[in-house]
Structure 1
Amino acid sequence: MPSTSAMLRCLFIVQGEGRGHMTQALALRSMLARAGHRLTGVLLGRSSARAVPAFFRDRIEAPVTEFASPNFVTDPQHRGVRWGATLWQNLRSLGAFRRSLAVIDAALRRQQPDVVLTFFEPLAGIYHALYRPRVPFVAIGHQYLFLHPVYPFPPDRPLQRGLARGFTALTALGAARRLALSFYPADDRPERGLVVVPPLLRDELLRQPLDQEEPFILVYVLNHGLGEEVRRWHADHPEVVLHAFWDNPAAPDPWRPHPNLTFHHLHDTRFLEMMARCRGLVCTAGFESVCEAMYLGKPVLMVPVEGHFEQYCNARDAAAVGAGLYDDHFAIDRLLAYLPHHAPRTEAFRAWVAEAEARFLREIEIVVDERRPAVVGV
């Protein structure tokens, strides 16, 4: 067990693309606070396409500093990733990224943290490689499971596998630990600094009542262009009640194009409350939403964002452990047909999640103990 008993000063560096990394940061902040540690600030990689959700600023309880960070470019319909445009935009932004590294360095020097906790932000890894800070970094994300030798990658995509592993390693350059969030336990790889840990789920989810069910399907779409596909499906199945959450600030909240179809703006607690009551969830294959559904025992239809290899891997991995099924499209009728056959492994998953707080605190405190004699600033 770690010997750390003093309060730790912790700094977060969080990737701002999607909601998953931000909700993981919220969950870890609560764990650190319960252990008597302090979050001194959050550095948030900014996406030009999305504003920082209000729920994150309201609940993180620390100053948030945004900086320009690499992000995906989607197609004009906001349905999938355009890799050529993504590369070109990020190359054009190299000057802004250099300024972001200076922002990170200034924050470390000003706040003097005992540990920096990074949530899959690529500039965190680049910063460590270039600036060589003395303070230890701990990298957190489900993608670090890609670095595990037994991760079940799709067998037919070797180039994408190599690129995914390379980018994942980039985000954790210099990290003392890589904490790989996983749907299931797996052996650690200490020679790689790789520790397999449970998902980071927020207290608001863990407090939701269990075993509720009302006659509607919940839908979550990361890119609002996918909402049109949901509308087309519902036009052919108007008797099905759907509640959908999307990132579309131009639309009213709520928006009801049909009495049985309602679109809501992203809202953290409302989404979790409705997930606890739904029959099943349809979502893009982000790790966090799938974990939340698994904890609540809700079957999931996962639709990976087009061109998003990481989400394709998430969907295959989650389906293999009983979360539900996956498809290239929002084929909600497949989920409806699957519902009577769903055999959730809820108790085992909840037991795994229950280990998260002790495991995270232990790994973070051990890292600080290992480095504490050498830390004299950054």
Structure 2
Amino acid sequence: MARILYGVMGDAGGHINRSLAVAAELPEHDFLFVGGGKVEEALSRGHDYEPLPMLSTVLKDSKVLMAETALHFGKTITGYGKIIDGLCGTIDSFKPDLAITDYEFFLPRAARKYGLECVSLDHQHVLTHCDYPTPPGERLSRFFTVASARRLFSRVDKFLVSSFYALPPKDDSTEVFPPIMHRDIEDFTSSEKDHVVVYMRSGVSPSLLEGMRFSNRDFQVYGLGAQSAQGNLQFLPSSREGFLENLASAAYVICNGGHTLTCEALHLGKPVLAFPTSFFYEQYFNAVYLEKLGYGRMGMEDCRESIVRFEQALEQCRARLAGIDLFGNGQVAERINRLLASG
């Protein structure tokens, strides 16, 4: 048995969901999770947890608020030295064999100070450590996203990138794997009903609400809490089992293009219509590759027209998704065990 110290960015569900899925593949090892926000969910999975201040992206009305995000970053790293010293104390007492970070800011710096190997395991570094032709548009968003990823989240020894599009790594420090997902998704058999599952982390815009109301389908909306139905719009409470049940039987999915939900939808054979959050380049990039691979489409400003055009392409997208294998859990677990063995 080895000990793994796992730092996770907890501002949204994708990072902790991926990290807990990794831990579930390695039950023979002992994990201690550190981070803020949703990272405390590790406790409910039987893992130890220590809180850390959290760098997070501030979203409102389907936009990244750049000034507020920068201000939040500045406030969060106040007391930087004390935080790093505290983490070094955690390393000294827990005595991990390896540190893993899923886009967490503090752990890689503490690990480097202590002399502990630290590995990045996330999706975001596909933007900085893989080769690809730069998509047109979103230049400013790309600049800030790539610059912050390199400056804030790249002080590690190796990069393990989990992605539904297999781009070639730039150098030997990087390896690319298929997506990591919770295995509970394998408990659900895909079918096809008429409803659409909708999850928009940054909020559902009035334009999208209007576009959905003009459709003949029922839209099951998550992320806004349980509310009274509005015509063909149902606002459902958060529930992992209920969500996956509805996802497995949906006609398709509407989301911002976040990597975790996109991968779960694609695994179940569901085409994805992505409306990326403004100035959220990773979501934009995911939407670009949904179109490149034929798995979905990127929504336009006219949401109603986007839905109409997307539904015309549904059968083509479903054909592209037939038979694809997106589970990278086992490959990633094997790679971590080899890292532990070589250390």
What TM-score does the superposition give when structure 1 sets the normalisation length?
0.81
Q: Of 30, 34, 38, which residue of structure 1 is paired with 2:24?
A: 30
Q: Percent identity?
A: 21
Is the 8 Å Cα contact of residues 9 and 104 (structure 2) preserved in structure 1? yes
The aligned counterpart of 2:115 is 134
- Structure 1 outlier segments of 4+, above 6 Å: none
Is the 8 Å Cα contact of residues 11 and 116 (structure 1) preserved in structure 2? yes
Aligned-pair CA distance for 1:203: 0.5
Q: Determine helix, strand or coil for the equivalent of 2:127.
A: helix
Q: Determine helix, strand or coil for the equivalent of 2:164.
A: coil
Deviates more, 1:171-180 or 1:149-158: 149-158
Q: Name structure 2 gaps, 5 residues minimum.
A: none
The aligned counterpart of 1:232 is 210
The aligned counterpart of 2:317 is 342
Aligned-pair CA distance for 1:277: 0.6
Residue type at the aligned position of 2:36: G
Residue type at the aligned position of 1:166: A
Q: Of 40, 44, 54, which residue of structure 2 is paired with 1:69?
A: 54
Q: Determine helix, strand or coil for the equivalent of 1:349.
A: coil
Q: Are residues 357 and 217 of structure 1, via their aligned partners in 2, closer, same or farther at CA, if it must alter by over 3 Å?
A: closer
Aligned-pair CA distance for 1:263: 1.1
The aligned counterpart of 1:44 is 35
Aligned-pair CA distance for 1:69: 1.5
Aligned-pair CA distance for 1:168: 2.2
Give the whole-Å Cα distance in 2 for the aligned partners of 1:134 and 1:271: 42
Residue type at the aligned position of 1:273: E
The aligned counterpart of 1:215 is 194
Is the 8 Å Cα contact of residues 243 and 261 (structure 1) preserved in structure 2? yes
Aligned-pair CA distance for 1:337: 2.8
Aligned-pair CA distance for 1:272: 1.5
What TM-score does the superposition give when structure 2 sets the normalisation length?
0.89
The aligned counterpart of 1:374 is none
Residue type at the aligned position of 1:87: A
Q: Determine helix, strand or coil for the equivalent of 2:52.
A: strand
Is the 8 Å Cα contact of residues 126 and 167 (structure 2) preserved in structure 1? no
Is the 8 Å Cα contact of residues 183 and 318 (structure 1) preserved in structure 2? no
Residue type at the aligned position of 2:29: H
The aligned counterpart of 1:175 is 156
Is the 8 Å Cα contact of residues 290 and 298 (structure 2) preserved in structure 1? no
Give the whole-Å Cα distance in 1 for the aligned partners of 2:81 and 2:140: 29
Aligned-pair CA distance for 1:312: 0.7
The aligned counterpart of 2:219 is 242
Q: Are residues 277 and 149 of structure 1, via their aligned partners in 2, closer, same or farther at CA, if it must alter by over 3 Å?
A: closer
Query: Once the two structures are superposed, what CA deviation does each residue of 1:210-247 show, in whole Å capped at 9, x if it has no partner?
Result: 3x0111011001023x264443334444x42110111x
Aligned-pair CA distance for 1:325: 0.1
Aligned-pair CA distance for 1:190: 4.7
Give the whole-Å Cα distance in 2 for the aligned partners of 1:198 and 1:320: 17
Query: Once the two structures are superposed, what CA deviation does each residue of 1:123-147 show, in whole Å capped at 9, x if it has no partner?
Result: 3344345xx2222111011112123
Q: Are residues 301 and 92 of structure 1, via their aligned partners in 2, closer, same or farther at CA, if it must alter by over 3 Å?
A: same
* C-alpha RMSD over aligned residues: 2.5
Give the whole-Å Cα distance in 1 for the aligned partners of 2:158 and 2:230: 49
Aligned-pair CA distance for 1:85: 2.0
Give the whole-Å Cα distance in 2 for the aligned partners of 1:344 and 1:120: 34
Give the whole-Å Cα distance in 2 for the aligned partners of 1:228 and 1:266: 21
Q: Does 1:88 align with 2:79?
A: no
Query: Once the two structures are superposed, what CA deviation does each residue of 1:33-54 show, in whole Å capped at 9, x if it has no partner?
Result: 1xx2222x211233xxxxx388
Is the 8 Å Cα contact of residues 126 and 171 (structure 1) preserved in structure 2? no
The aligned counterpart of 1:14 is 8
Is the 8 Å Cα contact of residues 285 and 311 (structure 1) preserved in structure 2? yes
The aligned counterpart of 2:293 is 321
Is the 8 Å Cα contact of residues 81 and 307 (structure 1) preserved in structure 2? yes
Q: Are residues 156 and 185 of structure 1, via their aligned partners in 2, closer, same or farther at CA, if it must alter by over 3 Å?
A: closer
Residue type at the aligned position of 2:186: L
Aligned-pair CA distance for 1:335: 2.9
Is the 8 Å Cα contact of residues 4 and 99 (structure 2) preserved in structure 1? yes
Deviates more, 1:63-72 or 1:276-285: 63-72
Query: Once the two structures are superposed, what CA deviation does each residue of 1:175-228 show, in whole Å capped at 9, x if it has no partner?
Result: 23201112133444553x100111001111122213x0111011001023x264
Residue type at the aligned position of 1:29: A
Is the 8 Å Cα contact of residues 32 and 361 (structure 1) preserved in structure 2? yes
The aligned counterpart of 1:303 is 275
Is the 8 Å Cα contact of residues 299 and 323 (structure 1) preserved in structure 2? yes
Residue type at the aligned position of 1:86: T
Residue type at the aligned position of 1:25: S
Give the whole-Å Cα distance in 2 for the aligned partners of 1:293 and 1:27: 16
Q: Are residues 257 and 229 of structure 1, via their aligned partners in 2, closer, same or farther at CA, if it must alter by over 3 Å?
A: farther
Residue type at the aligned position of 1:267: S
Q: Are residues 18 and 333 of structure 1, via their aligned partners in 2, closer, same or farther at CA, if it must alter by over 3 Å?
A: farther
Give the whole-Å Cα distance in 2 for the aligned partners of 1:180 and 1:67: 24
